Amino acid sequence: MKRFGRNLLLVIACSSLYSLATKAAPAVLPFYVTTSQIKPEGKLGQVVKKEKVATEIPGAQSWRIAYISSDVNDLKTISTGLLIAPVGQAPKEGRPIVSWSHGTTGSAQNCGPSQQLNPAVPLNEYYLMNGNSWEDYGVLSVVELIKEGYVVVATDYQGLGGGGKHQYAVGQTQGRDAINAIRAAGAIKETGAGKKALLYGWSEGGYSVLSAGGSINYLAKKGTAFDGIELVGVVALSPVNVSGVAQVALSSSANSEQALEKISAPLSQNIFMWGHLAGMMYGLQAAYPEKLQLTDWFTPEGAKVFDVLSNNKCFHVLSDSLTYSYGDNYKSLLKPIPSNAKAWIDALIAGGVPNNAPAVPVLMFRGTKDAVPKPMVDIYEAQMCKMGGNVKHIELDGATHFTSPVEAQKTFLPWIKDRFANKPIANGCPKS
């Protein structure tokens, strides 16, 4: 009888989820409704729409922006974001630009942080006591950065307000969004921006900036809306590094199936982490639709459920829906053995950090109680240092995934200032 009752609840839950698919897409502000109808035609970084928004940050002005970007396959996209700049006369050389890449918010069109009614604020986290929204939003250290005279731009990423499917955790795509956000900031004359720029990001955004920092050819592209970016550094906070993990898993496995199991097993131990893993697979399929199918990895039911949830709900709410509807039964949405494993492994590697040393010094943080496994950052450090990169990796004692960004500020803010000042920097890689 208990089993019957549980199964009945699951049927009802699934029916409710499926019914969402026939309803209208999540509500977004008018700015994003019209933006999603714009064709991505123009130069990389070209601003196709902007809207002034109020901010309480002292000495600042801000805008919502939509701009031309491109994904891992070089297909042009429309990305949205937030731009914040100091008011007043800019210095002769222009203001440095700092590009923020946010952490996981979800894959639905209403999950872009710039869509908040008051988006130009310091980082506001769902899980912390000051969290007042269904998602994380705002920009880490924005008050301090504006006070230093920097222009701050924060991409939403493609698919989170500008139309199209979000390629969640495809580092190359999010990294290009962050680079083109710099170009967009430089193209808007009111910012007074110069050519010097720095990338910083957290979690999914950490993967974004690690990928962008190694995208040497993309950074050097000509014919953009703002050529000649002089990148000076990358700050990665609790970065995921699925491409690095995939490379190591593949090299230590007999086949692709075994490698995929090594990647997915540690991220399938509870429904919260599994939701992130499922989102990664959903994002990969969006990036490589001709090579990957959701039913390679999900059961038919799982593919339908995750498609409905991903298109309608931001991540924290999505996670709650999964927990409510499936609880400990979430693995029933997975195939026992994924098919097409080699294509998935290849996509994980191709979509992530480029296989070359980063163009600039990298400062990387992780909390010792972080949800991001330590091997993810260790692998990046080892691979990039071996190729001649300059990577400093700091473990924050006792910090969690959600406290580490704030705790890292006292270290990375002066580091950013030194990079813009062209101060000499020692190589941070372990001497061994």
Q: What is the CATH number of the domain that holds 211?
A: 3.40.50.1820
User: Binning pLDDT at 50, 70 and 90, where does residue 12 land?
Assistant: very low
What's the whole-number mean pLDDT along residues 202-229? 98
The dihedral region occupied by 359, where left means phi > 0, alpha psi between -120 and 50, and beta the remainder, is alpha
CA 171 – CA 72 distance, rounded (Å)? 8
Angle between helices 2-20 and 315-326 (to 10 degrees): 150
Smallest CA-to-CA distance from 95 within 236, 234, 237, 230 is with: 230
Beta-bridge partner residues of 363:
235, 392
pTM above 0.75, yes or no: yes
pLDDT digits (tens, 9 = 90+) for 98-154: 999 999 999 999 999 999 999 999 999 999 998 999 999 999 999 999 999 999 999
**Beta carbons within 10 angstroms of residue 356's beta carbon:** 15
At residue 226, the pLDDT reads 98
Q: Does 6 score more than 80 pLDDT?
A: no
Q: Which domain holds residue 389?
A: 1-432
At residue 365, φ and ψ (nearest 5 deg) are -120, 150
pLDDT digits (tens, 9 = 90+) for 262-279: 999 988 989 999 999 999
Strand order in the sheet with 60-70: 47-53, 60-70, 76-86, 151-158, 95-101, 193-202, 230-237, 362-369, 391-400
Q: Is residue 82 a contact partner of residue 62, using CB atoms and an 8 Å limit?
A: yes
Cα 191 to chain centroid distance, Å, stands at 24
At residue 13, the pLDDT reads 44
At residue 283, the pLDDT reads 97
User: Binning pLDDT at 50, 70 and 90, where does residue 25 land?
Assistant: low
Q: What is the mean pLDDT of the chain?
A: 93
CA 328 – CA 133 distance, rounded (Å)? 27
**Number of compact structural domains in the chain:** 1
pLDDT digits (tens, 9 = 90+) for 340-351: 999 999 999 999
Q: For the chain, what's the residue count?
A: 432
